[in-house]
Amino acid sequence: MIDLPPMSAPAKRSVTIDGHRTSVSLEDAFWNALNVEARARGTTRALLIGQVDHARPPEVGLATALRLFVLAQMQRKPD
């Protein structure tokens, strides 16, 4: 049997990037991880999302880029 973390359906939240409002749908676990990462970097979640948005290739959606960013951050941290 596999032990799964708590799961939620994606929650759509509005964010402002460079003065433009957009919506992003992510599961609660990803929103929470973005909050933790933003605090660790001494920034806000909105600014962190903007940084990810600017760094992603145009063919990759913002939600996908944010999930992959969170995954990469978690893989870098020692257990």
pLDDT tens, per residue, the chain with 79 residues: 899 888 889 999 999 999 999 999 999 999 999 999 999 999 999 999 999 999 999 999 999 999 999 999 989 877 6
**Amino acid present at 65:** A
User: Where does residue 77 fall: left (phi above 0), alpha (psi -120 to 50 degrees), or beta otherwise?
Assistant: beta
pTM of the model: 0.90
How far apart are the C-alpha atoms of 39 and 42, rounded to whole Å? 5
DSSP 6: P
Q: Give the residue from 66, 70, 65, 52 showing the smallest Cα distance to 5.
A: 70
